[in-house]
Structure 1
């Protein structure tokens, strides 16, 4: 690996070059990020999965940069124009923009006006006028008139000379970098409405006359304005001189160009021509070039931010607490077509299905109740999952009423339906339930995602889970790559029971391909459950390298070797045996023996094969074998009588579940079919710059209703429970008043000043 890449990555990650080199070598050798992060800590000195993902992404960029650098050096050298100074500049370039700036004068291109002028012999005229302002342009240009070369008169000669100098200025890497840095600091992005599009583009009205520093445009606003431009509603422009008067005839950047070349422009004969060269070069070439570059960079930065938001929310959803292996009834609510019901056992196996009609228009309460009671009695149902779609609150009310009348204490939980319909219609669902109606498959998915969100959601394209922001406006390739990495990291962080896992879940295990995963399931179906990890080596196409990568993440519960149900990698089994011998314990007596294991000192068992970091990890894993990093299962309790937006009143205090987190706040499901928005300024009494510092998707939170706009389906919420809604009704309007009234804030909530804008952004996303 190029030494400069190692040092660049080390500097960016704030780690030692040796750590970077080792990590890159491991990646190049075909090792996966989860494997390196978990089982090669000794080699990388503890680089975690986040650092390794960043390293992996930047490594690709820097290698592409190096490859481009080599191509450029070769091209310029073949032209015979590669000087030692230029070589040093190219080797020192740290970005693709800088590299391409240096290459501009030497890049093969179509014949330009400047090249044609040079061929006509006008280069010396351009040089003379540029260097010496005492020359009279018209007088000097007369010497270059040549009809055979296309120079008919002095005007043509001066235009040709101007074209030569304009191209020189536009290809001056040093000048471009100076102007680029100025624009980064002072330029603004200006959005204006396209004439006649005011009504059609009303959703973009916040940007009909908007401007802000381009370096500080947040991703959600950038993507909104870019979408407005793509839809023909907005015009976007880079304004280099936002503080100048509209009638100003000269840009600050034109003055900077003159200063860059140390030109003192006054009233000398050639100064008018030189000013013209600078003005044309700036407005026609340089500004257009830099505006295109800045817009592309803005889009890339905004896309990356949006993708990061999606990835963070996806991780929170996937790592949500599982209800566990309990017999679960899933209900996919509906009105005219009825509610689809499916019962699955603790392993997710389908036991029973039905369609009931407890809601309008049939209102068959008695028949629906009998069906659910029959399922509960027959299968021992102890958990009910109700999808949060159409008629969800009505269905939930029916279920809780039925349970209360039957004196049954079965927990009922509202579950997100996002992506359930995608799974229902998928090829995977068709193979799993070929004879089951598509709508009933959705009920199965709802039940299973309550049991284990991770195991069920991996069957769905991550983009369909619905926790993104402007997801259709970003690079779909980059989005898919990022989300796939998140899924992989989550699956491997939790671990997978190889004897019950589906092929889609196994596919996400480090080192396993889709074919290998399917082969594991087929092998299991043919030969019965795996009794130990070593048997995996008998699976077709699962060789030693794949086994090395996946073995530590696959669990064999109740197998022959107690270590196989833990996260201890088979390569460290000899270490465990050594620890067992030194402590005079059997291996199975070590597993879970927290008191003994915590009393051991890692350094006492470290040697040349297993270092202290590895020993520490093994001791920790033995103390809590196969521990699940996900939180304890808990759910929100929606307020009775609050089923739709018209039931809400300012001042109500409710419990809800965070469904999505963006840069400008968090969306919370409070049980009325329309998520409310907690603006970033209303998330906490202290200042926060990132909503994720306070909440994440899946959190159960208490909120106060601050604003209700039923016609536009907007609900403003606050997590600062002492905030007072503007013109609010008495707090007694809340369905469940607090026992103790907190002291009211005297100031107006900061969230309200931005609520309308935030809702507008949310609607566009």
Structure 2
């Protein structure tokens, strides 16, 4: 049996020694960010993506081994463990195969087959199975008993059928053959059962639908599953989608059962009995159980894709370029309730709040302009962040008019995503920060701060509430949370955290720190003042040497006692930096940032038993650009003036927009009309694209052309291929219609949010994702 480290090494295409070193570090309490950054010698350079996969597979394979040990113990206690069975169990590499093997030995409630065996009918079942020339009725008469369950030949023969049905349905090799067959050719079919149910129109593309199980995109899979959960759709597997349906015709699955047991009967006396066993085994036992299993696996695979898409979009959003430490005004637009305004200083400290009413019904337009102008001048505002919700474009026009009346340097205005702002406003974190501030005004503060530093502000919101995924409420919430938490942790530690200004939620995401430790850090600096060096962290309650080792390299102390504390150099490497400084003939504080002197240092000269070449190169790189921010340059999109709503759009109009969400079938782009448009994957670029993430990511600023606008259904079709014209870009009109006799073969095109009940997913074949789900 291959050991765990070897199996993971094969999956990652790396050396088993690398994997074992990473496992040892994880078992010792090390975090993924710490291992990826500061233990490259041990793992020989495994990055955070490798380590995340390794961590996930390690958990799965250890659970698999525990289950394997328990199964072997149970079968051994039954006295049924053979060398062949033990070998098969030990070679099983996933939970499904393991459970297939355990099925005949699993404790189960008393079945019809067991009742028949207890009544002594097993010899009859074996005899009829082995000799097809026997007359079933004549043989059954020998087994009639006074037992109420088997008083006639019919009941006796039924009992013998039940015995073989259960035996066949617990045959692991047969189950695996049938599973492979279904994955290869079966179709998942949907049909409407509640067309008049509220919300049924969202699923009209699936009212009579069929698609190959192995290739169905995950967004369609999740849409159908949601329709089933809402009582609108009924799902089933069709093992022979191209065959003429008939109750008398034999399915290909039944033929596999015959071939497996070589049951090629013809005119023998027992032929009808054998045929009945085969048909009932498939229809009553294996067909139903495999349909349930494979639809469940389809769901798991689709969820994996959905979670992966959400994670990629979240990472892009968190790693968006910060506006920087500038005085910022945040505006949470509203119509009837007014526009809430919050102004914060360069550090994010709240300076002022108010509410203006420029829109219906009050329409205090000029008064609102005067208020904005006054606040901008009074607080020397450098950035204006406008939430992208209701009335955002109208408010953008208001701000533009206010800025036009200003003299001198004017602040830049931007429309930013307000996703999750309302969640933050009502959260415990917001209540602790602003206990006396109205909930509606807290959202404006969040909008302002997320422009200054998206990462620092968005970590205060539960990742699921940020809303850059699809079907997020339909997937495993525990698995989604775990994946998104890993993304947040990786982003926070990639950027680094200022110990003297970071919030508790941001500090709690630092590798090695718990929520309690983060709270204690904030309490310590409130009581003792700003941290002067990293070593002071050890004075924080409950923050011991192990937590310090994991966290110190990701925590920054700016303008402190030691200039290295403001860098990504870990304290354990300070002595090595001192040697580098001596070699260069400069003091450490002079060497930091002195690129020419640093380039003259030879990394190989500093290799020793503790620090290898990868770590030394990282240190030199950090010294060249200490505390560098890995996030990109701050840029803004300029929405077209006069285009504020769907009815302002026209075919072939070219606009600038911001990518708000990326799915497996395309990218959604905010073009400033309160409804994101979809750039289908085929319209992202002239080249073939298998995954839209290869071309765009959330937060990218792109130019798009309008191809089609459906005002009634609130759908906008866009293209990033600016040479593509609306007249030639309507594939639904050009696609040949399916024959009337086969309407179920139609596949809906993924045009937009309304068509997809929530948001997202797949692109990879189901078979690949199915394999991941199995493991």
| TM-score higher than 0.5 | yes
SS at match of 1:147: coil
Quote the residue 1:672 is aligned against.
673
How far apart, in 1, do the equivalents of 2:629 and 2:102 lie? 53
Equivalent runs, 1:362-381 vs 2, <5 Å: 362-381=362-381
Give the drift of 1:764.
4.2
The answer to whether the aligner puts 1:125 opposite 2:124 as a matched pair is yes
Equivalent runs, 1:538-549 vs 2, <5 Å: 538-549=539-550
The question of whether the paired residues in 2 share the 8 Å contact of 1:206 and 1:757 is answered with no
The question of whether the paired residues in 1 share the 8 Å contact of 2:653 and 2:705 is answered with yes
Equivalent runs, 1:496-535 vs 2, <5 Å: 496-535=497-536
The question of whether the paired residues in 2 share the 8 Å contact of 1:19 and 1:43 is answered with yes
The question of whether the paired residues in 2 share the 8 Å contact of 1:638 and 1:654 is answered with yes
Give the drift of 1:263.
2.3
Quote the residue 2:224 is aligned against.
225
Equivalent runs, 1:590-605 vs 2, <5 Å: 590-605=591-606
The answer to whether the aligner puts 1:312 opposite 2:312 as a matched pair is yes
Quote the residue 2:210 is aligned against.
211
SS at match of 1:190: strand
Quote the residue 2:762 is aligned against.
none
SS at match of 1:762: coil
How far apart, in 1, do the equivalents of 2:202 and 2:758 lie? 7
CA gap of 1:196–1:352, structure 2 versus 1, over 3 A, is closer
Equivalent runs, 1:581-596 vs 2, <5 Å: 581-596=582-597
How far apart, in 1, do the equivalents of 2:729 and 2:410 lie? 43
Give the drift of 1:143.
1.4
SS at match of 2:90: helix
Equivalent runs, 1:634-713 vs 2, <5 Å: 634-713=635-714
The question of whether the paired residues in 1 share the 8 Å contact of 2:471 and 2:757 is answered with no
SS at match of 1:414: strand
List per-residue Cα deviations over 1:398-429 (Å, max 9, x = no partner).
11111112235210010111111111111111
Quote the residue 1:342 is aligned against.
342
Quote the residue 2:620 is aligned against.
619
SS at match of 1:758: coil
Give the drift of 1:149.
7.2
List per-residue Cα deviations over 1:266-290 (Å, max 9, x = no partner).
1111121111101110110011111
The answer to whether the aligner puts 1:758 opposite 2:757 as a matched pair is no
How far apart, in 1, do the equivalents of 2:748 and 2:192 lie? 23
Quote the residue 1:144 is aligned against.
143
Quote the residue 2:183 is aligned against.
184
List per-residue Cα deviations over 1:412-453 (Å, max 9, x = no partner).
010111111111111111111111111111111110000000
The answer to whether the aligner puts 1:100 opposite 2:72 as a matched pair is no
Give the drift of 1:133.
0.9
List per-residue Cα deviations over 1:317-344 (Å, max 9, x = no partner).
1000100000111111112222111111
SS at match of 1:531: coil
How far apart, in 2, do the equivalents of 1:77 and 1:322 lie? 62
Quote the residue 1:284 is aligned against.
284
How far apart, in 2, do the equivalents of 1:199 and 1:609 lie? 66
How far apart, in 1, do the equivalents of 2:701 and 2:615 lie? 37
The question of whether the paired residues in 1 share the 8 Å contact of 2:8 and 2:57 is answered with yes
The answer to whether the aligner puts 1:574 opposite 2:575 as a matched pair is yes
Greater mean deviation of Cα atoms: 532-541 or 593-602: 593-602
How far apart, in 2, do the equivalents of 1:755 and 1:581 lie? 68
The question of whether the paired residues in 2 share the 8 Å contact of 1:221 and 1:761 is answered with no
Equivalent runs, 1:146-161 vs 2, <5 Å: 146-148=145-147, 150-161=149-160
How far apart, in 2, do the equivalents of 1:312 and 1:516 lie? 29
CA gap of 1:370–1:229, structure 2 versus 1, over 3 A, is same
Give the drift of 1:657.
0.3
How far apart, in 2, do the equivalents of 1:667 and 1:195 lie? 31
How far apart, in 2, do the equivalents of 1:202 and 1:409 lie? 49
Quote the residue 2:296 is aligned against.
296
How far apart, in 1, do the equivalents of 2:429 and 2:732 lie? 44
Give the drift of 1:197.
4.1
Give the drift of 1:600.
2.5
Equivalent runs, 1:245-256 vs 2, <5 Å: 245-247=244-246, 249-256=249-256
The question of whether the paired residues in 2 share the 8 Å contact of 1:191 and 1:236 is answered with yes
How far apart, in 2, do the equivalents of 1:755 and 1:496 lie? 46
List per-residue Cα deviations over 1:37-90 (Å, max 9, x = no partner).
111111011111111111111111111111111111000000000000000000
The question of whether the paired residues in 2 share the 8 Å contact of 1:224 and 1:761 is answered with no
List per-residue Cα deviations over 1:558-586 (Å, max 9, x = no partner).
11111000000001111111111222221
How far apart, in 2, do the equivalents of 1:278 and 1:122 lie? 18
The question of whether the paired residues in 1 share the 8 Å contact of 2:223 and 2:756 is answered with no
List per-residue Cα deviations over 1:321-370 (Å, max 9, x = no partner).
10000011111111222211111111000111111122222232332223
The question of whether the paired residues in 1 share the 8 Å contact of 2:202 and 2:756 is answered with no
Give the drift of 1:720.
0.6
Quote the residue 2:360 is aligned against.
360
How far apart, in 1, do the equivalents of 2:346 and 2:121 lie? 85
SS at match of 1:472: coil
The question of whether the paired residues in 2 share the 8 Å contact of 1:241 and 1:251 is answered with yes
Give the drift of 1:150.
3.7
SS at match of 1:470: coil
The question of whether the paired residues in 2 share the 8 Å contact of 1:145 and 1:153 is answered with yes
The question of whether the paired residues in 2 share the 8 Å contact of 1:104 and 1:171 is answered with yes
Quote the residue 2:438 is aligned against.
437
How far apart, in 1, do the equivalents of 2:169 and 2:196 lie? 35
How far apart, in 2, do the equivalents of 1:56 and 1:48 lie? 12
Quote the residue 2:23 is aligned against.
24
Aligned-residue CA RMSD (Å): 1.5
The answer to whether the aligner puts 1:331 opposite 2:331 as a matched pair is yes
Quote the residue 2:767 is aligned against.
none
Give the drift of 1:124.
0.7
SS at match of 1:144: coil
How far apart, in 1, do the equivalents of 2:498 and 2:112 lie? 69
SS at match of 2:53: helix
How far apart, in 2, do the equivalents of 1:417 and 1:287 lie? 48
The question of whether the paired residues in 2 share the 8 Å contact of 1:682 and 1:751 is answered with no
CA gap of 1:762–1:600, structure 2 versus 1, over 3 A, is farther
Quote the residue 1:730 is aligned against.
none
Quote the residue 1:113 is aligned against.
112
The question of whether the paired residues in 2 share the 8 Å contact of 1:499 and 1:524 is answered with yes
CA gap of 1:690–1:501, structure 2 versus 1, over 3 A, is same
Give the drift of 1:193.
1.0
How far apart, in 1, do the equivalents of 2:589 and 2:722 lie? 51
How far apart, in 1, do the equivalents of 2:194 and 2:225 lie? 17
The question of whether the paired residues in 2 share the 8 Å contact of 1:220 and 1:761 is answered with no
Gaps of 5+ in 1: 727-746
The question of whether the paired residues in 1 share the 8 Å contact of 2:205 and 2:748 is answered with no
The question of whether the paired residues in 1 share the 8 Å contact of 2:470 and 2:758 is answered with no
The question of whether the paired residues in 2 share the 8 Å contact of 1:101 and 1:173 is answered with yes
The question of whether the paired residues in 1 share the 8 Å contact of 2:370 and 2:402 is answered with no
Quote the residue 2:382 is aligned against.
382
Give the drift of 1:755.
9.0
Quote the residue 2:721 is aligned against.
720
CA gap of 1:748–1:375, structure 2 versus 1, over 3 A, is closer
SS at match of 2:756: helix
Q: TM-score, normalised by structure 1?
A: 0.95
How far apart, in 2, do the equivalents of 1:38 and 1:131 lie? 65
CA gap of 1:751–1:657, structure 2 versus 1, over 3 A, is farther
